[in-house]
Amino acid sequence: MSTLHSERILILDFGSQYTQLIARRVRESRVYCELHPYDMTMAEISAFKPSGIILSGGPKSVYDSGAPPVEEALFELGVPILGICYGMQLLSQHFGGKVVPAGKREYGHAVLEAIGEPGDLFDGFFTEGTSSVWMSHGDHVEVVPVGFEVVARTTNAPVCAIQNPQRNLYGVQFHPEVNHTPQGELMLSTFVRKICRCSGQWTPGKIVDDAVARIREQVGTEQVILGLSGGVDSSVAAALIHRAIGDQLHCVFVDNGLLRLDEGDQVMATFAGNLGVKVTRVNAQRRFYDGLKGEVDPEKKRKIIGNLFVDIFEEQAGEVEDAQWLAQGTIYPDVIESAGAKTGKAHNIKSHHNVGGLPDYMKLKLLEPLRELFKDEVRAIGEELGLPKQMVWRHPFPGPGLGVRVLGEVKEEYCDILRRADAIYIDELYETGHYHKISQAFAVFLPVKSVGVMGDGRTYEYVIALRAVETKDFMTAGWYPMPYADLARISNRIINEVKGVNRVVYDISSKPPATIEWE
C-alpha cells in the first residue's frame, strides 16, 4: 500500500442508488475510499485496513427474510462506523434496537431537529437547532439500542440520528451524500477527517506523483499502446502515462469522421505538438461511413462503430514492435458499475467494454492508471498535468460520437451539417457564460425536412435540435432554462451560417422519462 492510500475509508454497499455519491463526497474531503459489496469477507476487510467504515442505504427492510446482514466481527475492528438509512437501521437492529414499518413514509425534503447536544459528528450541521435534509425511507427505528443516544428527529421520524461516541458508532436516517442535504458534505467530511482522523492526503498533485511511480514500477522498460479518442479519460491517461514513461507510450488516434468540428487537428496539436507524445493518426472516415451505410438502429450503429474501431486499432497496434501493455482510460464508476453487473447487487448498472480484461488473442497486459478515480478527480489531475482547461472540463461526448447524434442513417453530409451547427451552439454557450453552468449540451441532427422561407424563396431543409441539461449524477437530469434571447441568437446563427438547415428546436424533456442523448 502506498503512503497515499494509508488513510482509507471502506464503504459497504447494501444496494442504494446513492452509494457512488457517498464515495464522491469522501473523496471531496481529500480522503481515499473504496466501495465494496456488503458481503465482503472479514478477511478482506481486515486486509483493507480501513480508517473508518460507512454502511450505505439499500432497498430492503432489515427485518425481511434474506435482508443483507452485517457481521459481528465488523464492530470489533475498533474503527469508527457510520450507518446511513438502511445502514443506521442495520446498526440499530444489530445492537438490540427495533426497526418497524413507519406509520408515514418520508421521501424528499424534511426538517431535522437537534435533540440536546449533537456531538462531534454534527459540529456546524445545525443552524438554530434545525437543518434541511433529504429523506428516503419507509421504515424507522422504534426502539433505540442500549448505549446509543438520539441526536435528532423529524416530524415523522422520532429517531433520525443516533450515536455511541464511546464506541465511535453513528447512524443517520437521512442521506447526507445528496445535494438536497445542504450540510451533508460537511457532516461526511467531519466523519472522515475528525472522527476517523484522516489528514486528507488525496490531492491532485499527490495522486499524479503516486500514479507516475506506480506506472514506472509496473511497466519498467516495456512499450505501451493506447487508443486516444480525444475524450477526457483517454486524454488524461495519455498525459499521465507519458509523464511516467515518455517515448515508451505509443498512442493511436482513429479519426472516424464522427468527431466534432476540427477535433482531430486539436487532438494532434495538443498531444503530438505541445506535449511531444507519439501519436499515429489514422484517417478512417470512409471505412466508418461505408460500414454505417443503410443502418438506422442505434444499438447496431454502436456495435458497428465499436467493432471497426477495434479492428483499426489492432491493425495499428501490430505496427508497434514489442508492445507489452494496452493502456485504457477506465475510471472508477466503470469499475463499480461493471462489478455490480456481475454480482447483481447494484440496481442501476451497466457493463463497460473496457472493464474486465482483454480478449486472449491480444496477449497484452492491461494498464489502467485512472481506475481508482472519479470523473471530477480525472479532470483535476488533467489540469495538474497541464492539459488545456477547455479539453479537461468539456462536456461528455459519447464513444460513438456523432454516430448517435445523427438520428437514423449516418451520412457524411449529415455529419458535416451537425458539426457546424454544434460548433456554433457551443461557441455561443461559452460567449454567454452558460457552458460551465450546464452539465451537458449538444446538437442533434434530425433526418426530416420542413418548409421554410429565405429571402423570397421557399426552402425545404433539415432540422437541428438543441439539448442542454443540468445534473449532478447523470442518473436524473433536468432541461436547462436557456434565456429566450440566447436561444434566438443561436437559432439565427445556425440557420444563417449552416447550409441545409432552416429550423432549430430546443429539447425541454427531463430524464426520466427521456434520456440525455437522443440515441
Domain identity same for 255 and 379? yes
DSSP codes, 284-305: -HHHHHHHHTT---HHHHHHHH
Please, which pLDDT band fits residue 404 given cuts at 50, 70 and 90? very high
Q: What's the mean pLDDT in 10-23?
A: 92
Inter-residue contact 326 to 335 (CB < 8 Å): no
- Least-confidence region, from 260-269, 364-373, 450-459: 450-459
CA distance linking residue 421 with residue 405, whole number of Å: 12
pLDDT tens readout for residues 431-442: 999 999 999 999
Other CB atoms within a 10 A radius of the CB of residue 116 amount to 9
**pLDDT given for residue 317 in this prediction:** 82
Asked if the structure places residue 275 within a domain, the reply is yes
Domain identity same for 374 and 256? yes
Q: Is the dihedral of CA 104, 105, 107, 112 positive or negative?
A: positive
DSSP codes, 124-139: TT-BTTEEEEEEEEEE
Q: What is the distance, to the nearest Å, from the Cα of residue 324 to the centroid of all Cα atoms in its chain? A: 29
189 annotated ligand-binding residue:
no
Asked if the structure places residue 92 within a domain, the reply is yes
Task: Please state, for a pLDDT cut of 90, what percent of the chain lies above it.
Answer: 72
Place of cell 449533537: 118
Beta strands at 278-283 and 323-327: parallel, antiparallel or unpaired: unpaired
Q: What is the distance, to the nearest Å, from the Cα of residue 254 to the centroid of all Cα atoms in its chain? A: 25
Q: Is the dihedral of CA 382, 388, 394, 396 positive or negative?
A: negative
Asked if the structure places residue 15 within a domain, the reply is yes
Higher-scoring residue by pLDDT: 180, 409: 409
**Residue 510 pLDDT > 80:** yes
Asked if the structure places residue 403 within a domain, the reply is no
CA distance linking residue 82 with residue 188, whole number of Å: 9
CATH number at residue 327: 3.40.50.620
Question: Quick one: which of 426, 422, 428, 499 has its CA closest to 465?
Answer: 422
**Mapping DSSP to helix (H, G, I), strand (E, B) and coil, where does residue 409 land?**
coil
124 annotated ligand-binding residue:
no
Domain identity same for 215 and 350? yes
Q: What's the mean pLDDT in 422-448?
A: 97
Domain identity same for 129 and 239? no
Asked if the structure places residue 511 within a domain, the reply is no
Task: Please state, for a pLDDT cut of 70, what percent of the chain lies above it.
Answer: 93
Asked if the structure places residue 404 within a domain, the reply is no
Domain identity same for 39 and 151? yes
Cis ω before 513 (30° cut-off from 0): yes
Task: Residue 427: give the domain boundaries.
Answer: 413-506
pLDDT tens readout for residues 285-343: 999 999 999 999 999 999 999 999 988 988 888 888 888 999 999 999 888 876 654 44
Inter-residue contact 244 to 211 (CB < 8 Å): yes
Active site residues per annotation: 85, 175, 177
CA distance linking residue 188 with residue 178, whole number of Å: 11
List the Cα angle 71/77/83 in 5-degree steps. 60
Domain identity same for 311 and 214? yes
For residues 159, 163, 164 and 170, what is the CA-based torsion angle, rounded to 10 degrees? 120
Q: How confident is the prediction for the chain on average, in pLDDT?
A: 90
For 206, counting Cβ atoms within 10 Å of its Cβ (0-12 exposed, 13-18 middle, 19+ buried), the class is: middle
**pLDDT given for residue 107 in this prediction:** 77
Inter-residue contact 407 to 415 (CB < 8 Å): no
Inter-residue contact 29 to 200 (CB < 8 Å): yes
208 annotated ligand-binding residue:
no
Domain identity same for 119 and 140? yes
15 annotated ligand-binding residue:
no
Domain identity same for 224 and 293? yes
pLDDT tens readout for residues 201-220: 999 999 999 999 999 999 99
Asked if the structure places residue 405 within a domain, the reply is no
Q: What's the mean pLDDT in 46-53?
A: 96
Residue at a domain's end among 195, 220, 244: 195
pLDDT tens readout for residues 460-477: 999 999 999 998 767 788
* Domain count for the chain: 3
Beta strands at 130-143 and 98-114: parallel, antiparallel or unpaired: antiparallel
**pLDDT given for residue 348 in this prediction:** 36
DSSP collapsed to 3 states, 13-47? ECCCCCHHHHHHHHHHCCCEEEEEECCCCHHHHHH
Higher-scoring residue by pLDDT: 472, 124: 124
CATH number at residue 438: 3.30.300.10
Please, which pLDDT band fits residue 157 given cuts at 50, 70 and 90? confident
Domain identity same for 176 and 243? no
CA distance linking residue 237 with residue 253, whole number of Å: 14
pTM, rounded to two decimals: 0.84
Please, which pLDDT band fits residue 167 given cuts at 50, 70 and 90? very high
CATH number at residue 191: 3.40.50.880
Beta strands at 169-172 and 278-283: parallel, antiparallel or unpaired: unpaired
234 annotated ligand-binding residue:
yes
Please, which pLDDT band fits residue 356 given cuts at 50, 70 and 90? very low
DSSP codes, 37-76: ETT--HHHHHHH--SEEEE---SS-TTSTT-----GGGGG
CA distance linking residue 391 with residue 64, whole number of Å: 49
Residue at a domain's end among 195, 216, 232: 195
52 annotated ligand-binding residue:
no
Domain identity same for 91 and 176? yes
Asked if the structure places residue 347 within a domain, the reply is yes
**pLDDT given for residue 361 in this prediction:** 55
* Gyration radius (Cα) of the chain, Å: 26
**pLDDT given for residue 350 in this prediction:** 32
Domain identity same for 93 and 143? yes
Q: How far is CA 518 from each of CA 156, 293, 401, 444, rounded to the nearest angstrom?
A: 41, 20, 12, 8
Other CB atoms within a 10 A radius of the CB of residue 135 amount to 22
229 annotated ligand-binding residue:
yes
Q: How far is CA 440 from each of CA 366, 475, 495, rounded to the nearest angstrom?
A: 31, 13, 22
Question: Quick one: which of 33, 71, 39 has its CA closest to 58?
Answer: 39
CA distance linking residue 221 with residue 165, whole number of Å: 52
Domain identity same for 43 and 114? yes
pLDDT tens readout for residues 233-249: 999 999 999 999 999 99
CA distance linking residue 202 with residue 4, whole number of Å: 7
**pLDDT given for residue 17 in this prediction:** 84
Residue at a domain's end among 195, 222, 249: 195
**Residue 50 pLDDT > 50:** yes
**pLDDT given for residue 251 in this prediction:** 94
**pLDDT given for residue 353 in this prediction:** 43
CA distance linking residue 486 with residue 471, whole number of Å: 21
**Residue 160 pLDDT > 60:** yes
Other CB atoms within a 10 A radius of the CB of residue 226 amount to 25
Inter-residue contact 363 to 354 (CB < 8 Å): no
**pLDDT given for residue 355 in this prediction:** 45
